[in-house]
Amino acid sequence: MARTAPASELYDLRAARSAPDLWPMLERLYGGHPDLAAMSAALRDEMARAWKARPADLKRLDLQRDLEPDWFLRPDMVGYAAYADRFAGSISAIEGKLDYLDGLGVRYLHVMPCLKPRKGPNDGGYSVQDYRRINPALGSMADLERLARKMRGRGMSLCVDLVLNHTAREHDWAQKAIAGEKAYQEYYYIFDDDTLPRQYEQTLVEIFPNDAPGSFTFVPELGKWVWTTFHEHQWDLNWSNPWVFLEISKIMLFLANKGVDVLRLDAVAFMWKRMGTRCQSEPEVHMILRALRAVCRIVAPAVIHLEEAITAPAEMLTYLGTGEHDGRVGNLAYHNSLMVQYWSALASRDTKLMRHVLATHFPERLSNATYVTYLRCHDDIGWAVTDEDAADLGFSGAAHRAFLSDFYEGSFPGSFAKGALFQENPATGDKRISGTLASLTGIESGPEQAELAVQRMLLGVALIASYGGVPMIYMGDEIALANDWSYLDNPLHAPDSRWLHRPVMDWDRADAAESDPASPQGQVLQGTRAILHRRAALPQLHSGVPTRILHPENTQVLAFARLAPTGPVLCLFNFTEAVQRIPEGWLRAQGAEKMHDLLSGHDIGLHDGALVLLPYARVWMI
């Protein structure tokens, strides 16, 4: 096969730099496959072609980010996630909202699934029919390119979803498979009968037990069974086939050349199947992700990868690179545990479990990667609290998880929350939760609770803004949008309670929040903005600065230190509606010298030898 010679020395240097992350991984993944050599040659060609086609301004950005590899770790890096239609109406209309985002301090926008989905039910856009087209209801690829360019001009980055685990059954590959093309049948997991599926199912975990039970679907046109981890229309890709690696690499580079900065790699944990396991987070998944990362670093090093793996704490870390893959896999991964522990500590008014989980499972610093820290997103909250962690503190994991579901559904006596259950699984007792940040923190539970809800929300924002990572604001949370029950009127959405927390952006409320700072939405908007702006100005909150969990005696308060070279910043959070005290001696022993709060900009007055934390207070002190 003829090789297009890459024009530039820079390309060759980058190819050499990332070679150890690419070719040996492919060898380990596909060494036994007869097509490895042919696929590798095709991949070399594709990479060279994509580099040639890469627009000059993006090549400049590549260079800039090669020179400033910590660009996404800096304290001014703040994310925002929104559906194009629900936020602005369309992709091009987002351009008109960039001032708003800028004002909030946002540097990175995740436009929720926008590639062309199948018609009909499509799992909120995660059932993709064509990765090279934009959902026609939202605009065109030219619109996306233009948005990316506009954002680049303002120093903002664009993130889009790339679903790696499955395509829609309407995708061309699946259609060709249905039409009988053998090469495309090998892009998926297709079984003649259900013998193997039943064997696999012995150890698989159901993702949507209520509305999409099982992990396999009988496809009458084929007369065969297809692996469908999620919904029946989402066909799992067969990543043990090297040609799938090539196809996805091509798509990745196509999107990179359109100006996408962050690829959110969806549902990556499920990409490798092994009989007798949960088929989640198998070692090969990390080899694939490392190799995909290398492809981008060679051709489009400005692009980083966000890996979506919502798993138990120790497992999640592997997506940021552990062991042999340290610093070489994802750049970003969701800190699902921090999110779960925020909700757990708010409900139990205690931070013991939170401290234990954060201190035991998470290192003080990561190599070349960081977390996306968040409170809510478009998905449900699954109570990822392990039995082992709960047992370490002497209680039952199952009981605690059930408590959290009851609490946030609102059925637990005295709960301030109003949420809804998602995918109750009678077989395991597992119940997940839907609801917006505002509704789950109590905005709908009377005026007194609404006031506390504001403080709970701002406590959360201060937490995700200081822990280390890219804080991600989920659309509408900054103006305290409540649950949207109208999803029940839409037959496409009604079966999926996650639509409860996917409201349409309420711009009137945003205006009101601007003009009435004392209203709950005003306090949340202005408070969020203030926190994010303070963060941007504090080099101590760079994500490369280590985070150490501290253990004050008062377990109602979460405390950690950001161990900056200029001295520690002590971040303290009162997770209760009562006043809490932290002795001055303890603060000084942790390195607090000035008794100054960087968050409010005020000096801290001590009372009776202690720092007094008002209900839900948050302090970043030096």
Active site residues: 266, 308
CA angle 105, 108, 109 (to 5 degrees): 105
Nearer to ligand GLC, 134 or 377 (CB): 377
Nearest CA to 528 out of 209, 101, 15 is that of: 101
Helix, strand, coil distribution of the chain in percent, nearest 5: 45, 20, 40
Amino acid at 364: E
| Binding interface with ligand GLC (CB under 6 A) | 123-124, 126, 163, 230, 266-267, 308, 378-379
SS3 357: helix
Joined tokens for residue 501: 């927390």
Q: Shortest approach of ligand GLC to residue 380 CB, angstroms?
A: 9
Q: Shortest approach of ligand GLC to residue 230 CB, angstroms?
A: 5
Q: Shortest approach of ligand GLC to residue 358 CB, angstroms?
A: 23
Q: Shortest approach of ligand GLC to residue 587 CB, angstroms?
A: 40
The contacts of residue 195 (CB under 8 Å, 6+ apart) are none
Q: Are 398 and 387 in contact (CB under 8 A)?
A: yes
Q: Shortest approach of ligand GLC to residue 208 CB, angstroms?
A: 8
Nearer to ligand GLC, 123 or 478 (CB): 123
Phi and psi at residue 152, in whole multiples of 5°?
-55, -40
Nearer to ligand GLC, 115 or 550 (CB): 115
DSSP 535-601: HHT-GGG-TTS-EEEE--S-TTEEEEEEEETTEEEEEEEE-SSS-EEEEHHHHHHTT--S-EETTTT
Alpha helix positions (H), 264-372: 283-299, 313-317, 336-348, 352-361
What's the N-to-C CA distance of the chain in angstroms?
62
Q: Shortest approach of ligand GLC to residue 151 CB, angstroms?
A: 22
Q: Are 242 and 39 in contact (CB under 8 A)?
A: yes
Give the residue closest to ligand GLC by C-beta: 126
Within 10 angstroms of residue 398's Cβ, the number of other Cβ atoms is 15
Q: How far apart are CA 493 and CA 478, in angstroms?
A: 24
Q: Shortest approach of ligand GLC to residue 47 CB, angstroms?
A: 27
Q: Are strands 370-374 and 332-334 parallel, antiparallel or unpaired?
A: parallel
Nearer to ligand GLC, 163 or 375 (CB): 163
Q: Shortest approach of ligand GLC to residue 272 CB, angstroms?
A: 16
Helix (H), strand (E), coil (C) string for 460-518: HHHHHHHCCCEEEEECCHHHCCCCCHHHHHCCCCCCCHHHHHCCCCCHHHHHHHHHCCC
Q: How far apart are CA 80 and CA 110, in angstroms?
A: 6
Q: How far apart are CA 151 and CA 410, in angstroms?
A: 40
Q: Are 70 and 277 in contact (CB under 8 A)?
A: no
